[in-house]
């Protein structure tokens, strides 16, 4: 935290030296979160014990604006309580740059931004900030935006390397994608919001005694949302094609939600998602499993993260039918969300016989309370009722009878100061 203090005080001093038309804002986020994990991400086995811990994000956001220029610097430290000793001279994770970008307003319709930045669109299914994760998600990229009235077109570009190399490395770059290009278009017609996405991601891979190759995968589709008085609905449709590690890609996704405000305080909704997968008895070399790529996947398919949160890739896909019940009263908000999971592709048992496609039911309960304008308390409890098919997919042979997860988080978000 001494580093953060030094940087903040230095910028305050610089801001006070100039009297141009400037805006400077600094805000801080401290977010400790307790978690109890008993079968989180995968069923726990008999003989294994549940665990608990407290993780914390400490983030300092600095925003600067002068005429046509905007800059943002976001520094953060992510820690698990106790990961360093009480007398340690160094932090385990140190201070990292979450965002560091500059933006130039070319004219009233065009702007450009480059640097480390959050890329987030629509319901965050394909591109998201991943704010639930303490570290979040950001990209090193160049963004060009065209924004006439009622329209927006974003063009994004990125190219990645592991260091300032002198010659091309012989080991594949596997930290993230090697290159990325995308176009996102959004418009509003009356009460209908429409978005179109075209995304091209290149991943480097290598084979023994051969030059490195980059295979490109394309993700394309649309997201529609509509709101009318008490009703609201949205629909997402995406496809994936191209190649990955010299394998053809052919996958698709569909998701829809329908919500209705029963009263001012109570809202109910129905939702369904389909992510394509591949039969386990399919011997072809093609990839048929849809990947949500850079989405905020924790927000989908159950909060216990059994699917697509660092797992369930190139698998049998997923069908998720769910109900959302939300009640708000004064400073309180409560949500109950049961999920019914099934596999759209074939799952085989140990003797290569087809298993039931029902994977299980998860029930998520969450609450939030606004303690203060800068302090919010969130918590939740989830339980997964897994089937033998899900246990087979997760490779658990001696499952325990109960899988649950509980968490409690306090977020402090004060504005330190604002100068104009």
β-strands 213-228, 22-38: how paired? unpaired
Per-residue tokens: 271? 């939702």
> If we measure between CA atoms, which residue out of 195, 251, 197 comes closest to residue 223?
195
Residue 96 CA to residue 344 CA, distance in Å, equals: 40
> If we measure between CA atoms, which residue out of 312, 300, 302, 315 comes closest to residue 384?
302
In this prediction, residue 7 carries a pLDDT of 52
> If we measure between CA atoms, which residue out of 353, 335, 252 comes closest to residue 299?
335
DSSP state at residue 215:
E
In this prediction, residue 420 carries a pLDDT of 84
In this prediction, residue 66 carries a pLDDT of 95
pLDDT in tens, 134-147: 999 999 999 999 99
Helix/strand/coil for 16: helix
Its pTM stands at 0.92
**Which domains occur in the chain, in start order?**
2-419 (2.40.160.100)
In this prediction, residue 17 carries a pLDDT of 44
The percent of residues in the chain predicted with pLDDT above 90, rounded, is 90
* Beta bridge mates, 158: 180
Residue 386 CA to residue 392 CA, distance in Å, equals: 10
Q: What angle do CA 283, 246, 212 make, to 5 degrees?
A: 145
Segments of the chain with pLDDT less than 70: 1-20, 208-209
Q: Where are the beta strands (DSSP E) in 229-246?
A: 231-244
């Amino acid at each position: 935290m001494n580093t953060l203090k030094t940087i903040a005080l230095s910028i305050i001093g610089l801001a006070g030296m100039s009297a141009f038309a400037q805006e400077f804002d600094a805000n801080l986020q401290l977010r400790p979160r307790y978690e109890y994990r008993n079968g989180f991400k995968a069923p726990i086995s008999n003989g294994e014990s549940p665990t608990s811990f407290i993780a914390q994000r400490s983030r300092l956001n600095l925003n600067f604006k002068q005429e046509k220029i905007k800059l943002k610097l976001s520094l953060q430290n992510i820690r698990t309580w106790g990961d360093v000793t009480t007398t340690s001279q160094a932090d385990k994770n140190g201070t990292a740059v979450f965002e560091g970008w500059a933006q130039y307003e070319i004219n009233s319709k065009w702007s450009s931004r480059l640097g480390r930045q959050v890329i987030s669109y629509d319901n965050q299914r394909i591109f998201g900030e991943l704010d639930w994760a303490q570290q979040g998600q950001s990209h090193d990229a160049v963004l060009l935006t065209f924004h006439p009235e009622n329209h927006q077109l974003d063009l994004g570009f990125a190219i990645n390397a592991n260091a300032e190399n002198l010659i091309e490395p012989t080991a594949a770059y596997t930290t993230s994608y090697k290159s990325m290009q995308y176009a996102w278009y959004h418009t509003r017609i009356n009460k209908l919001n429409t978005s179109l996405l075209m995304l091209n991601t290149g991943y480097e891979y290598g084979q023994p005694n051969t030059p490195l190759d980059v295979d490109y995968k394309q993700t394309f589709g649309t997201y529609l949302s509509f709101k009318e008085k008490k009703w609201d609905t949205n629909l997402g449709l995406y496809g994936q094609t191209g190649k990955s590690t010299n394998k053809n890609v052919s996958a698709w996704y569909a998701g829809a939600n329908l919500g209705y405000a029963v009263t001012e305080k109570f809202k109910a909704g129905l939702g369904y998602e389909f992510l394509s997968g591949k039969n386990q008895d399919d011997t072809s070399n093609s990839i048929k499993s849809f990947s949500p790529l850079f989405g905020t996947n924790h927000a989908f398919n159950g909060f216990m993260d059994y699917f697509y949160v660092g797992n369930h890739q190139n698998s049998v896909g997923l069908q998720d039918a769910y109900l959302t019940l939300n009640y708000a009263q004064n400073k309180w908000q409560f949500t109950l969300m049961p999920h019914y999971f099934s596999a759209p592709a074939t799952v085989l048992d140990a003797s290569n016989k087809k298993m039931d496609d029902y994977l299980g039911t998860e029930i998520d309960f969450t609450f939030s309370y606004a303690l203060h304008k800068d302090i919010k308390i969130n918590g939740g409890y989830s339980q997964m009722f897994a089937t033998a098919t899900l246990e087979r997919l997760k490779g658990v042979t001696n499952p325990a009878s109960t899988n649950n997860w509980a968490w409690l988080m306090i977020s402090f978000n004060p504005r330190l100061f604002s100068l104009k």
